[in-house]
Amino acid sequence: MTKEFQNSDGDPDSRANKIKKRYYELLQESAILYPKVDQKLLIDILKFETTYKDWEGSVMLKIVYPADRFDIEKKKDWIYSRYQRVPSVEEKRTLRVKLIRMYLGDLERLLIDDPDIEYVTGSATLAPTDAYAA
């Protein structure tokens, strides 16, 4: 067992180290299943979705497209037609949009429906808000 899983007493079989090992395994598997998604965003959505049964799926997404290969205005229109929210454009290739009811399954469908997406990052919050704070 590597040092990263050992606590101060050096016991790789401690409960703390076992749970850390499982967490790292979860991160590795989620990176394989969702290679285009920021792992922190994915884990936050998973945490809120499974912990709070009434969570409304409040997320701020930053959807990144490959540089200079796509008409960002068409992508902006597509996001609007799908979610009825107007995304803002950041750095010429990133769309930023605040959504409600965005769960892991919805994130998966977004990636399937738009294979041009290069990467998705952002944040999930417990309470919905219209503020564009990241």
Q: Which residues pair with 95 in a beta bridge?
A: 63, 89
Confidence of residue 113 (pLDDT cuts 50, 70, 90): very high
CB-CB contact of 94 with 79 (8 Å): no
Write the CATH number of the domain with boundaries 35-124.
3.30.70
| 46-100 per-position pLDDT tens digit | 999 999 988 998 999 999 999 877 899 999 999 999 999 999 999 889 999 999 9
pLDDT of residue 129: 60
Domain extent listing, the chain = 35-124
Helical pair 15-33 and 39-51, crossing angle rounded to 10 deg: 110
pLDDT at 105 over 90: yes
% of the chain surpassing 70 pLDDT: 87
9-41 pLDDT, tens digit each: 567 788 999 999 999 999 999 999 999 999 999
Which tokens go with 61? 């997404």
Q: Is the pLDDT of residue 1 over 50?
A: no
- pTM (2 d.p.): 0.82
